[in-house]
Structure formats: structure tokens, C-alpha cells
Structure 1
Amino acid sequence: MKKSVSEIQKEIIEEFSDLQDWEEKFQYLIELGDELPPYPEEKRSDAYIVPGCQSKVWVYPKLENGALTFFADSDTALTKGLIAILIRVFSDHSPEEIANASLGFIEEIGLSKFLSISRRNGLSSMVNMLQNFAKHPQ
């Protein structure tokens, strides 16, 4: 059975609670980014770039059978990890679930505390773009 957005967030909170310090947490984020599937070159365009990010982040959605799946890439390892964790939470859910999701896990794992202001803004921009895709699926 498919896990809900909140169940996936709980899993992520548990995974991060097992990590001792921020060095381990950042390393884990980088590993998550490394696990993203290759991003198609034809989608590496301004139409899919996340505005408001210091790093370049590309995201595109695919709507199939009423569920959105997201694909992404970034030019920096940490940012790639951040988008990977968001994709894990949102992918394979209905646009309505994604658009209405509350993302309390970001606070619970301490991301907003340990990211620079520009990275926090970028993370917020990534969330907004994913939820906007859900509000206006194609």
C-alpha cells in the first residue's frame, strides 16, 4: 500500500533522528541527492528552473494515472539532496495531496535551523514550485 505524505515525513524524521550531528545529516542529504535518477538533458531549461535558488535546480513533473511524479537535478550536492528529500515526500501522490501538504518535517529535522538564509529561501522556493505544479497539473 502506498504511504501517505505524512507517513513519508515521519520516516524521514526517524532517519534523521538516528544521525548524530549536522555533518552526518548533511552527508546523508548528499547521499539522497546522489540517488536521484539521471535528469533528462531536454528538461534542463529555464522552463524547469526553480526561481529564487542560489544554486541551479531543475524540476519537472509528470502526471500519470492521477499522480504526480517529480524529476530533479541541481548543480550543487547539498541542494540536490534537499530537492531529493522533497521529491521523496511528494512524488506518486495526487495533485490535491501535494498542494495541501503540510511540511512539518523540515522543522522537525532541523533544516531551517542549520541552513543559511539563502538555502532556506531556496528550499522554500523548491516547495512552492512543487506545490504550484500540483495546483496546476498539466
Structure 2
Amino acid sequence: MASPAFEEIVEDFEFFEDWEDRYRHVIEQGKAMAPLDDALKVPATKVDGCASQVWLHPQIENGVFHFDGDSDAMIVKGLIAVLQKLYNGLTLSEVLAVDARAEMGRLGLNDHLSAQRSNGLRAMIERIRETAAAQA
């Protein structure tokens, strides 16, 4: 179960012939994100388990999940942008129902990220799920 915005990313990825093109596309997604306000880059929003600095700022309004985020690494910022497309705008129960590993696998990301990046991605997904579960 993925959002229409995530389905667009899946469609984009189908056009790319090799992983380097996909990698560049992920980075471009991150570059297109608005930066997270420095006031929100605090220990409470920092995600542990990532090799780079990562902050996720979740907001839940009327049962609908949304988060903003940032990282000091361009590929990780791109991964945050992809996760935004996967999760933002979903209800809390929909967030919890998403099989993020399978959805990200549709992009081929599971096979091409380093072990550290994969661990960081898992940590971000875990934080999103924990936040949704605590509010559901």
C-alpha cells in the first residue's frame, strides 16, 4: 500500500537503466526538499543508528501523518524525500500497514545501499512507525 506520490517515484525508477541513474534521482529528490529549520535539529528529532546526521520531525493532524526531515548526507536526504513520498498524507493505521522494506525494494534500493545506509534507512522507518504507533 503506497501513496500516489510514491507510485510516481516507482514509475520514475522504471525508466532508469542502471543504479547510478537511480542514485542520482534519489539525490535530486533530496535537493528538492526544503531544509529543516535548525531549531528542529534537536536530540528529540535526531535518529540514532544512522552513519550521518539525520533528523525527522513528525506531525500528526487529524490522524494524518506527515514528517519533515534533513540530513548532512545528500543520499540520506534523498532517502528521507523518498520516505516522505511513501508515508506523508497517510492515516496512522495506513502508516503502520506499509511494508516499507517491500516498497523500497520496488525501487531496488535494498540491493544497492551500503550496510550503514541500509541500517540508517531501517532506523528512519522504525522511528516513523514508532511515532505512528504511539499516536494511533
Q: TM-score, normalised by structure 2?
A: 0.91
Q: Are residues 1:71 and 2:68 paired? A: yes
Residue in structure 2 matched with residue 26 of structure 1 by the alignment: 23
| Rounded Cα–Cα distance in structure 2 between residues aligned with 1:9 and 1:43 | 25
Structure 1 residue runs of 5 or longer lacking an equivalent are none
| Rounded Cα–Cα distance in structure 2 between residues aligned with 1:123 and 1:51 | 11
Residue in structure 1 matched with residue 45 of structure 2 by the alignment: 48
| Rounded Cα–Cα distance in structure 2 between residues aligned with 1:38 and 1:17 | 28
- Following superposition, the deviation at residue 66 of structure 1 comes to 1.8
Residues 133 and 52 (structure 1 numbering): CA distance in 2 closer, same or farther, change over 3 Å?
A: same
Q: Is contact 2:45-2:55 (8 Å) kept?
A: yes
| Rounded Cα–Cα distance in structure 2 between residues aligned with 1:9 and 1:40 | 24
Residue in structure 2 matched with residue 57 of structure 1 by the alignment: 54
Q: TM-score, normalised by structure 1?
A: 0.90
| Rounded Cα–Cα distance in structure 2 between residues aligned with 1:109 and 1:91 | 18
Aligned ranges 1:51-130 → 2 under 5 Å:
51-103=48-100, 104-130=102-128
- Following superposition, the deviation at residue 130 of structure 1 comes to 0.8
Task: Give the RMSD, CA atoms, in angstroms.
Answer: 1.6
Post-superposition Cα deviations, 1:22-56, rounded to whole Å, max 9, x if no partner, equal: 11111100110011122111110111011100011
- Following superposition, the deviation at residue 65 of structure 1 comes to 2.1
| Rounded Cα–Cα distance in structure 2 between residues aligned with 1:126 and 1:83 | 8
- What is the one-letter code of the residue matched to 1:113? D
| Rounded Cα–Cα distance in structure 1 between residues aligned with 2:6 and 2:66 | 17
